[in-house]
């Protein structure tokens, strides 16, 4: 029997949604950092095996939103509920069942979709702490299954996939079997650059940054890709921090991004980065649309 369907991965920020999807797909198609609210858009990862095709939708973390950008991120996550066959809710084993997790579980009441709960990051706790947590969670919602797992080392992931397969409808593959994502190469490149900005900078810089790909030109004969990208920030002071003294910060970001891009595209990368200021762009709906953040 062959099954295929869409699975929305939901949860609070930084619970490991992107890490889990990347582990399952076997490629880094969603950026991951220790900082919350890294994912801004819905990112689709496609995993195919002999008996089925799993189309995962990695959604932004559901959090209390105040700015127009954050509200769009939360809307993106919430609207994923209505376009999937199954919800995969992730929580963190090492944090226990937090108030925010309970609120999210409460929001699932009345939702007709089956829900599987993944308790991620079991590599960070002792085993004897899991059973009380599972007992608590079973009392909060009729989950189809509760799976302890580690998105980092892979423990429990095969069990999770088998439980997901049970819930998917019968059907033919929805995408070519060798396809890993429906996102464009330009999108992937922009996300890799944004990840390195988040990892290399601190405080407000990561959340005031947008990356656009101005040029993406592949020369198959010489096996290299030339990429030109613009990093947009909100303030002149942020531009100065991002460039760094004598351009050192921008060079570091470019070097780290180039390394990951060369692995992903299996090609030599020539990367050129520019920085510009667009005042308060995260507050401006017109600019948000220009940068690809549209209402769900």
Do 185-290 and 3-167 fall under one CATH topology?
Answer: no
- What pLDDT, in 10s, does the model give residues 209-257? 888 899 999 886 667 899 999 998 888 888 998 899 999 999 999 999 9
pLDDT tens for each residue of 267-282: 899 999 999 988 877 7
Least confident of 76-80, 112-116, 271-275: 76-80
- Supply the pLDDT for residue 47: 92
What's this model's pTM, rounded to 2 decimal places?
Answer: 0.67
Alpha-carbon separation of residue 16 from 34, 41, 149, 190 (angstroms) = 9, 15, 11, 21
Domain residue extents for the chain = 3-167, 185-290
**Class of residue 220 by CB neighbours under 10 A (exposed 0-12, middle 13-18, buried 19+):** exposed
Taking only the tens place, the pLDDT of each residue in 39-51 is: 445 667 889 999 9
CA–CA distance, 45 with 56 (Å, rounded to integer): 5
pLDDT reported for residue 238: 87
CATH number for domain 185-290, candidates 3.40.50.1820, 3.40.50.300, 3.40.50.720, 3.30.300.20: 3.30.300.20
Q: How far apart are CA 95 and CA 242, in angstroms?
A: 33
Q: In what order do the strands lie in the sheet with 268-277?
A: 210-219, 224-233, 268-277
The pLDDT score that the predictor gives to residue 28 is: 74
**Mean pLDDT for all residues in the chain:** 82
Strand, coil or helix: what is 90? Answer: strand
Instruction: Label residue 195 by pLDDT band (50, 70, 90).
Output: confident
Using DSSP, state whether 88 is helix, strand or coil.
Answer: strand
Residue 78, pLDDT > 60, answer no
Which CATH number does 3-167 carry?
A: 3.40.50.300
CA pseudo-torsion sign 57, 60, 61, 64:
negative
């Amino acid at each position: 029997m062959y099954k295929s369907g869409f699975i929305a991965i939901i949860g609070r920020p930084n619970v490991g949604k992107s890490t889990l999807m990347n582990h399952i797909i076997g490629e880094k198609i969603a950026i991951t950092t220790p900082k919350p609210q890294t994912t801004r858009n819905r990112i689709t990862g496609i995993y195919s095996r002999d008996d089925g095709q799993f189309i995962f939708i990695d959604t932004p973390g559901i959090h209390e939103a105040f700015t127009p950008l954050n509200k769009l991120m939360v809307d993106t996550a919430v609207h994923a509920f209505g376009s999937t066959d199954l919800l995969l809710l992730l929580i963190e084993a090492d944090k226990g069942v937090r108030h925010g997790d309970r609120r999210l579980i409460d929001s699932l009441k009345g939702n007709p979709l089956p829900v599987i709960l993944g308790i991620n990051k079991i590599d960070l706790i002792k085993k004897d702490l899991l059973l009380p947590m599972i007992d608590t969670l079973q009392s909060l919602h009729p989950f189809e299954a509760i799976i302890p797992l580690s998105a980092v080392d892979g423990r429990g992931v095969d069990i999770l996939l088998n439980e997901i397969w049970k819930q998917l409808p019968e059907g033919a593959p929805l995408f070519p079997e060798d396809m890993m994502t429906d996102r464009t190469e330009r999108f992937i490149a922009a996300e890799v650059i944004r990840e390195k900005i988040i990892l290399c900078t601190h405080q407000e810089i990561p959340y005031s940054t947008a990356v656009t790909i101005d040029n993406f030109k592949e020369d198959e004969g010489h096996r290299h890709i030339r990429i030109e990208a613009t990093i947009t920030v909100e303030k002149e002071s942020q531009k100065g921090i991002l460039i760094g003294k004598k351009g050192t910060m921008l060079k570091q970001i470019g070097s780290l991004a180039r390394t990951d891009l060369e692995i992903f595209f299996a090609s030599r990368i020539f990367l050129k980065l520019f920085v510009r200021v667009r005042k308060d762009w995260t507050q401006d709906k017109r600019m948000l649309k220009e940068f690809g953040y549209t209402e769900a």
